[in-house]
Amino acid sequence: MNYKLINRLDPLIYLGLVLVGFILPEVVYRIFLFDFTAVLTENEAMIVRSIGGPLYFAAMAFFLLGGNAENGKQLNIIRYSGGLGLIAFAVFTDFNGFFLFGLVEIGLAVVTGNSIKKEEQATGSFTTEEQ
């Protein structure tokens, strides 16, 4: 897959998760826990909705910045560190779904990094850091 396509689809999926989290927080709560029989309390609904704000901001930043190779490289750094952060968050909390989100983000960083390298090799363009 092309890194431009991934950098457009990945944020749209997270934006959808934010929208569903505001409308139906119980569904997103169950996804976060990977427990589809979980019952949501009012405090937990506020937690799910509060996660939506930063997630919306991050998804919009990825969507707007993911169009060129140099920004794609910077976004990959964020994907790697964010993926590790999500995995660490999953280890220390009950939100096991974040473990999968972290693995997916690290996998996307690897795929987009390879796509950017192939594109740069095909066009022969290199950034100033590589010269």
| Predicted pLDDT of residue 48 | 85
| Predicted pLDDT of residue 99 | 93
> Phi-psi region for residue 68, left (φ > 0), alpha (ψ -120 to 50) or beta?
beta
Q: What global pTM score does this model have?
A: 0.81
Share of the chain above pLDDT 90, in %: 31
Quick check: 31 pLDDT over 80?
yes
Q: List Cα–Cα distances, 107 to 18, 44, 72, 101, 103, in angstroms.
A: 21, 29, 14, 10, 6
Mean pLDDT in the chain? 86
Quick check: 128 pLDDT over 70?
no
Reported confidence tier of residue 84, pLDDT bands at 50, 70, 90: very high
The answer as to whether 102 is a domain residue is yes
Domain count, the chain: 1
The answer as to whether 94 is a domain residue is yes
| Predicted pLDDT of residue 87 | 94
The answer as to whether 128 is a domain residue is no
Where in the sequence is the domain holding 118, given as residue range(s)? Answer: 3-123
